[in-house]
Structure 1
Amino acid sequence: MIRVNDVLDKISEYHPEADLGIIERAYIYSARVHEGQVRLSGEPYLTHPLEVAGILTDMRLDAISVAAGFLHDVIEDTHAGSEDIEELFGPEVRHIVSGVTKLSGLSFHSSRARQAESLRKMFLAMADDIRVILIKLADRLHNMRTLQFHKANKRKEIAKETLDIYAPIAARLGIYWIKNELEEASFRFLQPDEFHRIQTLVAKSQTEREKYMQTVKDYIQEKMDASNLTCEVLGRNKNYFSIFNKMISQNLPFEEIYDIIAFRIVLDSISHCYEALGLIHSMWKPIDHKFKDYVARPKPNMYQSLHTTVVGPFGERIEIQIRTREMDQVAKSGIAAHWSYKEGKRIDENISEKFAWIQDLVDNQENFRDPGEFLENVRIDLFQDEVYVFTPRGEIKTLPFGATTVDFAYMIHTEVGNQCTGAKVNGQLVPLAYELKTGDIVEITTAKNHHPSKDWLKYVKTVKARSKIRHWIKTQEKERSMSLGREMLEKAFRKEKLNFSALSKTEQLAKVATHFGFKIVDDLVANVGYGKITPLQVVRKIAPKQEPAADQESIFNKLVGRVVRKKRLKDGVLVKGVDDILIRFGKCCQPVPGDPIIGYITRGYGVTVHRTNCVNALQMTPERQIEVEWNQEASETYPVKIKIVSGDRVGLLADVVGNISKFGANILNASSETRENKMVDSYFTIGVEDTGHLERILSAVRKVKLVQDVKRIG
C-alpha cells in the first residue's frame, strides 16, 4: 500500500517548490473524517484517497490537485461540507472537490437520470477547471483496480460506464496509459471469457514473440547507428482489448493479427524523426495507405508522432512509431505533460484552445434533458476521430470522422444548417449525405424558406446538428399536436356537455394540468395530441364519473374483472400510469427482461418497447416517450438474435445447437454462411427468459471448439 511519504517524495522530485503543507493537511483531514469507514475489500477507506493521490503524482500534477485528490470523497461520504473544505483549504480546492462529487444527495426518478446529471455536473466543472476530470480519472482507475469486490451486476455496470465514458475521455486528453488500463480492466469484467481466451493465446506464443521483438529491435538499432542517429528503440505488446477489437472489426482469427507487437523509435529532434523514417522505408517496403504524419498535423489532444507500417524482415507487417523525447512524454501524459498550474497560475491559453472540445461538450448537452439521450450524445461526442476540412475562404474546420455536409453547415451557423439545400465539395455538387474527408473544400448552398428534414437525422454525426434538427422537428410537432389535442378535447368535452374553450382559461383546468405534471394547460393539450394522455382522462378530472354502488356490482362483472386482472399480471411490461394498453416490442433491438427499457407511444399502435440505447428509439421525439418497466411476475420467453463467428468443421452446428438447447432455449430461426476464408457466420433467433439466461447461453457457445466470437445483435 502507498504511504503519504511516498506521495510527498514523488511530488518533491518533479516540483521541488510545491506547497507540501496543503497536501499533509489534506491527508490528515481525510484520515480524520473517513475514520471507521472501510471499503468492500475490508481495507480502511483511507487507502483509496491515498492511491488516488499516488496516481495524480504519477501524472505529475500540482500540489492543489494532489490535496483535492485526498479530499475528493469527503463531501459525498462524510459529514464534511463544501464550506468546511473552502475554510480549511481555499476556494480552488473546494471548486475541484465539488466538481468531482456525485449528486448522491438529490433524488432522481432513476439511476440513469442520476448518472446523467452527475456527468453533466462534472463536465460543467471540468470546462472551468480541467483538474476535475484528471482527479475523476485517477479515482475511476483505482476503483477499477479493486472492482472484483463488487457484486457481478455492479461490476458490469461500472465497467460499461468506464468503457463508454472515462476511457474515451482519457484518450481525448491524451493520457494513453490510463486509457489503456481502463479499457483492459473493463474488458476483463465485461467479457471475462474473451479476456481469458486472448490472455491464454498471447501467453502461448510469448517466448517466440520476445525473440522476434529483439531481432527487429536489433535490425532497427543497427540501421540507426550506421547513420549516427542516437535513439532508443522500444517494442511492446498491444493490450488484449485492442487485439480483441481488431479480431472483431476485421473478422480475423488471433493467428492472423499481425500487429500484436508495435515498435517505437525515440530520437532527439524532429529532423532526426524524418531521417529515421527514410531509413526504415529504405530497409523495409512501406504500405502506402498506412502512413500517418501526426508531427506536421498533431491530434487535437496534442499527440505527435510519425506512424508507418512496413513489410518486415520475414514478410510480416510491422507497425512503427517515430517521435522525439518531448513527443513521447506528451504521448504518455497528454494534457498533464503541459501542466502550468503552479500556485496562482492558470493553464496555458494555447492548451485551453486545444481542449475547446470540453466546452463544446457542455454546450452541446444543454438541450438534452432526457437522461438516455444525454448519455448517448456524450458517447458520440467522446468516441470520435477527426477530419479536417476547409471553408471556401481557407479556414480549417475540425469535424468527427464520418461527418456530412449537413454537419459542416450546422458547424458554420444554425441558420446555415436549417436552410441548407445543397453542397459542393472541391467544386463538385455532392449529396447532403456525402461523408467529408480530410482536405475537402466545402461550400454550402442555402434557401430562405427551406427547413430541416427528418431524414437528415439518419446520417448526421455531430450532436450539434442532431440537436438543432430535432429542436426544429419538435417545434413543428408540438404545433401539430396542439391543434390535434385541442380538437380531441373539444370533442370529448362536448359529449359531456362541457365547453373546453371556456374551461381552458379557468383555474380548474390549470389544476388538472398540474395533476398530470405540466406547468401550463398548453403542455397538457400537446400531450393529448401526442397520445400520452387520453381526452377521457382529462374529462374525468373535470367531471368524475359516478361509480355504481359496490353491492350492485353483478356477479358476472366480478368474475370478468377477476379474469382481466389475472390476465394483466401476465403482461411482460407494465406502463407507468396506464392499466390497459397494447404493448409491442421493437424488432430492431429485441428487448428482454434485464435490459433497461423505454416505451414510445405510436398513434394507433399503443406503446412500442425499445432498449434505452436502441438507435431507432434515440431518434424518436422525446415527447412520445413513456416510462415502462418489466413485470417481475410474468413468465414469458422473448426472441433474441445472436451471431456466431467460427471456423468451419464437421459437427459445428450440432455442437452449437446442443449448447443452446441444453439451457432450455427454443431455436426460432437459424441460418449460416461460409465465407471464402473458411470462416462461418451463423445467425440464430432464440427464445430466452431474461438477460441472465441469454448470457449463460452465450458463455456456453463461446466454449465450443473453433468458435471465435458470439454476440447479441440488434
Structure 2
Amino acid sequence: MIRITDILDKVTENQPEADLDIIDRAYIFSARVHDGQMRLSGEPYLSHPLEVAGILADMKLDAVSIAAGLLHDVIEDTHATEEEIGEIFGRDVLHIVSGVTKLSKLPFNSAQAREAESIRKMLLAMADDIRVILIKLADRLHNMRTLQYHKSAAKKKKIARETLDIYAPIAARLGIYWIKNELENRSFQFLNPEAYEEIHRRVDKDKEDRENYVDTVKQYIQMKLDENSLKGDVSGRYKHFYSIHQKMLKQNLPFEEVYDIIAFRIILDTIPQCYEALGLMHSLWRPIAKKFKDYIGMPKPNMYQSLHTTVIGPFGERIEIQIRTHDMDKVAKSGIAAHWSYKEGKVIDDNVSKTFAWVQNLVENQEAFRDPNEFMENVRIDLFPDEVYVFTPQGDIKSLPKGATPVDFAYLIHSEVGAQCVGAKVNGRMVPLKYELQTGEIVEVVTSKGHHPSKDWLNFVKTVKARSRIRQWIKTQEKERSISLGREMCEKAFRKYRLNFNTLIKSEEMNNVVEAFGFKQTDDLIASVGYGKITPLQIIRKITPKEEVEDADSLLNKVVTKIDKKKEKGGVMVKGVDDVLVRFGKCCQPVPGDPIIGYITRGYGVTIHRATCVNALKMNPERQIEVEWNQDTKETYPVKILVRSLDRVGLLADVAANITKNGANILSANTETKENHTVDSYFSLSVHGTEHLTRVVESLKQVKQVLEVKRLG
C-alpha cells in the first residue's frame, strides 16, 4: 500500500512550492472518519483514498486536487458532512469532493436512473472544474485494479461495461492514454476473460522472439537516425491486449496475422526533426498508403500531437511508428494534466479551456434528456473517440464524429442552419445529405428559408445535437397532430353523453381534470388522448359521474371480462391497460430478462422494444408506455446471434450440438466464409429469456476455434 510520505515526496518533486499542509490535514481527516472500515480485499478502507491520491500525484496535479482525492468519498461513505469539509479545507476542495460524490442518497425510480443521474452530475461538475473527472478517473482506476474482490460476477461485468463505455472514452478525450489503456485492458479481462487469457497466452508464448525482434528493429531505426545526425530516443512496446482484440475483430484477423501488435516510438527535440525522421523511415521501409496521419499539423481535440505511419518492416511485416517531440510526449502521456495549473489561485489557461470546449458541449447536449436510457446512449455517442476534421468555406476547422454527414455539420454551425439545410457541397461539388464526411474536406451548407428537418435524417445523423434538434421538431409536429385528433375524439365522445366539449374545456372542472391526470395544461391532456394514452371516457368520468356513464362503464367491463376469459396471459403486461394488442420489435427482438419499453402505435396496439434499441430511442417519448415481463409465462422468444470462428471441419456440427444441448431451438442458420479463413455463422434461436441465452452464448464460447459470440439487434 502506498504511504502518505510517498505522495508528499512526489508532490514536492513536481511542485516544490506546493502547500503540503492541506494534503497532511486531508490524510489525517480521512484516516479518522474511515477508521474501522474495510475494503472487499480485506485492506483498511484508507488504502483506497491513498491509492487515488497516489495516482493523482503521478498525474502531477496540484495540492488541492490531491487533498480532494484523499477526501473524495468521505461525504458518501462516512458521517462527515459538506459543511465540515468546507469549513476545514475551504470552498475549492468542497466543490471538487461534492462533484465526485455519487447520488446514492437520493430517491430514484431505478438503479439505472440513479447511475445516469450520477454520471450527469459528474459531467456538469466536470464542465465547471475538470479536476472532478481527473479524480473520478483515478478512483475508477483503483476500483478496477481491485475488481476481482467483488463476489458477484454480474456486478463485475456491470462495472467493467460502464468503465469501457464511459470512463475509458473520457480518459481518451482528455488525452490521458495510459489510464485509457489500463481501463480498457482491465475491463476486457472481466467482460471477455477467455479472449483476454488467449491473447495473454499467445503474447507470452513468443515473448523472447518478440523481444529480440524489438531490439533488431530499434537498432535499424537508431542507425538511420545516427547516420543523419538526428539525436532521438527510440522505444518499442506491445499494444495492450484490448487493442489487439479490437484489431482481430475489426479486420477479421486471427492472432497470427495481426502484425503490428508492437509499436515503435521516436522522440526528438524539434518539429522539423520529426518530419525529417518521417522521411528517413519512409526511405528505410516502404510506407503503406492511407496509413499516415499527421496529428502535428492537425492535432486531436485533446491536444495530442504526433506523426503516425505504418511501413513494411525488415522481415516483410507491418510496423507502426509514432514520431513526436519531448513536449508532445508529455501531453500524450498526461493529456490535460500536462497543462494543469492552479498555482496561486490562477485558473486554467484560456487556450486549454477552448480546446476542452467539447466538455461544455457534451453537458449542454445532455441537459434536455430526462430518460436515463436515452441519456446514457447519447453520452456514449458523445464520447465516440474516432473523429474527422473538416473545414468551413472560411477555413475554420470543425471536429465531428467519424461517419458524420453534412446535416451534422449544419447543426454544428447553428440549429437554424441545420433545420433549413436542403443540400451540401463538399470541395465545391454537390453531395447527398447522407454523404459521410472525410478529414480535410471543405463543407458548404445550402439552406432554404421555411425548410424543415426530415424524419429520415434520424437514420444517418451521428451527432447528439443534430438528433436531439430533429426529434424536438418531430415531437412538436406530432403533438400538434395529436391535439387535433384528441380534440376530434373528445368532441364525438362528449356529444354521446350530451355534453358540450368546447364549453367544458374552459371550465374550472376541466382544470381539475387536467391536474388529476398530472398534466400542466389542457393541451397536454388532449394530446394524450390523441396519442392513445387516455380515453375520452376517462375524462367524462371525472367531469360527470352520472348514471349513464356508470351504465356505459358496466357494459364496457362486461365486454373486457369476456375478452380476458378468452385470452391467455401473454408474455408482457402493459401498465394500466387491459386487453391491448402487443407485438415485439423485429429490430431488437426482446426476450424475458431484457429491460423493455413499450410504444403506442396507432392501429397496432403496443410495440415492445429493448430499452437500448436504437430505433426505440428515435421514437417520440410521448408515445412511451410502461411495460413489464409477465413472470408466469412459459413462452419462448426468437433471438439472433453471430458466431465468429476460424474455419475447420465439423465446426457447424459442434456449434449446433452445443445450442441443442443447452435446450435452445434453432429456427434458422446461415454461414458466410471470409477470405481470411474465418466464418460468420448467423443463427436465429428460440430461448426462454436472457439467462437461457447467456448459458447458450457461454457454452458456444468454449467451442474450439470460436473467436466471438454476440447477440444481434
Q: Offset at 1:547?
A: 12
Equivalent residue for 2:207?
206
**1:546, CA displacement in angstroms?**
6.9
1:706 aligns with 2:705: yes
Cα distance between partner residues in 1 of 2:393 and 2:563:
71
CA separation in 2, counterparts of 1:211 and 1:68? 45
- The 5-angstrom pairing of residues 262-661 of structure 1 reads 262-544=263-545, 564=564, 570-661=569-660
Q: Which residue of 2 aligns with 1:132?
A: 132
| Residue 238 of structure 2 is aligned to residue 237 of structure 1 | yes
Pair 557,533 (structure 1): closer, same or farther in 2 beyond 3 Å: closer
Give deviations 1:421-460, integer Å, cap 9, x for gaps: 1122222111111222222222222222211111111111
CA displacement at 1:709 relative to structure 2: 1.7
* 8 Å CA contact 2:30, 2:74 repeated in 1: yes
What do residues 672-707 of structure 1 show as CA deviations (whole Å, max 9, x unaligned)? Answer: 122333322211111122222212211211221222
Range 84-93 or range 431-440, more displaced: 431-440
Shift of 1:540: 3.2
Alignment partners' CA distance in 2, 1:580 and 1:197: 52
* Alpha-carbon offset, residue 143 of structure 1: 1.2
Structure 2 unaligned spans of 5+: none
Deviations 1:546-572 (A, max 9, x none): 7999xxx99x989x969948966x432
Q: Is the 8 A contact 1:290 1:309 kept in 2?
A: yes
* Cα pair 1:671 1:682 within 8 Å, conserved: yes
Partner of 2:64: 64
1:80-159 pair list within 5 angstroms = 80-150=80-150, 151-159=152-160
Secondary structure, counterpart of 1:424 in structure 2: strand
1:146 is matched by which residue type in structure 2? T
Identity score, percent: 70
Distance 1:160 1:356 in 2: 27
CA contact (8 A) 1:302 1:354 kept: yes
Deviation at residue 619 of structure 1 after TM alignment = 0.9
TM-score (normalised: structure 2): 0.95
Distance in 2, matches of 1:563 and 1:454, equals 38
Matched letter for residue 105 of structure 1: K
Contact 1:193–1:699 under 8 Å retained in 2: no
Aligned-residue Cα RMSD (Å) equals: 2.3
Counterpart position of 2:19: 19
Q: Distance in 2 between matches of 1:230 and 1:342?
A: 34
- Give the whole-Å Cα distance in 2 for the aligned partners of 1:632 and 1:545: 39
CA distance in 1, matches of 2:87, 2:548: 63
Aligned to 2:345, what secondary structure does the other structure show?
coil
| Change in 2 beyond 3 A, CA 1:289/1:548 | closer
2:541–2:549 contact (8 Å) kept in structure 1: no
* Contact 2:671–2:680, Cα closer than 8 Å, also in 1: yes
1:708 partner letter:
L
Deviations 1:576-624 (A, max 9, x none): 2223322211111111222222111111111111112211111111111
Counterpart code for 2:85: I
1:50-81: per-residue Cα shift (whole Å, max 9, x none)? 11111111111000000111111122222222
Unmatched 5+ stretches in structure 1: none
One-letter identity of the residue aligned with 2:50 = L
User: Aligned letter for 2:583?
Assistant: R
Map Cα deviations across residues 208-245 of structure 1 (whole Å, 9 max, x no partner).
22221121112212222222322221111111111111
Cα deviation, residue 516, structure 1: 2.8
Structure 1 residue 685 and structure 2 residue 687: aligned?
Answer: no
8 A contact 1:410–1:465 mirrored in 2: yes
Deviates more, 1:695-704 or 1:673-682: 673-682
Answer yes or no: is the 8 Å Cα contact 1:637–1:689 preserved in 2. yes
Q: Distance in 1 between matches of 2:136 and 2:126?
A: 10
Where does residue 664 of structure 2 map in the other structure? 665
CA distance in 2, matches of 1:395, 1:122: 31
CA contact (8 A) 1:490 1:499 kept: yes
Is 1:172 aligned to 2:173, yes or no? yes
With normalisation by structure 1, the TM-score equals 0.95
What secondary structure is seen at the aligned counterpart in 2 of 1:527? helix
Find the residue that maps to 1:445 and give its secondary structure: strand
Asked whether the equivalents of residues 426 and 440 of structure 1 are also in contact (C-alpha less than 8 Å), the reply is yes
- Using a 3 Å threshold, how does the CA distance of structure 1 residues 369 and 215 change in structure 2: closer, same or farther? same
Matched residues in 2 for 1:271 and 1:524: separation? 68
Distance 2:472 2:244 in 1: 41
User: In the superposition, relative to structure 1, how do residues 386 and 256 fare at CA in structure 2: closer, same or farther (>3 Å)?
Assistant: same
CA contact (8 A) 2:253 2:676 kept: no
Cα distance in 1 for partners of 2:507, 2:77 equals 48
The 3 A distance-change label for structure 1 pair 563 and 31 is farther
Please give the alpha-carbon distance, in whole angstroms, between the structure 2 residues aligned to 1:578 and 1:178. 49
SS at match of 1:38: coil
SS of aligned partner of 1:343: helix
Structure 2 Cα separation of the partners of residues 390 and 230 of structure 1: 36
Contact kept, 8 Å, 1:647 with 1:707, in 2: the verdict is yes
Secondary structure (helix, strand or coil) at the match of 1:290 reads coil
Deviations 1:457-493 (A, max 9, x none): 1111111111111111111111111111111122222
SS at match of 2:523: helix
CA distance in 2, matches of 1:357, 1:202: 37
Over residues 604-657 of structure 1, what are the superposed CA-to-partner deviations in whole Å (9 max), with x where a residue is unaligned? 111111112211111111111122222333232211111112222221111111
What SS class does the counterpart of residue 669 from structure 2 fall into? strand
Give the counterpart letter for 1:690 in structure 2. G
Distance 2:700 2:516 in 1: 51
Q: One-letter code of the match for 1:331?
A: A
Is residue 50 of structure 2 the alignment partner of residue 50 of structure 1? yes
Query: Given that residues 302 and 356 in structure 2 are in contact (C-alpha distance below 8 angstroms), is that contact kept between their aligned partners in structure 1?
Result: yes
Displacement of 1:519: 2.0
- Alpha carbons 1:265, 1:321 under 8 Å: kept: yes
Aligned counterparts of 1:42 and 1:633: Cα–Cα separation in 2? 42
Q: Which sits farther off after the overlay, 530-539 or 339-348?
A: 530-539
CA contact (8 A) 2:635 2:688 kept: yes
What secondary structure does 2:343 align onto? coil
Q: Deviations over 1:63-118 (max 9, x none)?
A: 00001111111222222222221111111111111111112222122222222222
Q: Comparing 145-154 with 671-680, which one deviates more in the overlay? A: 671-680
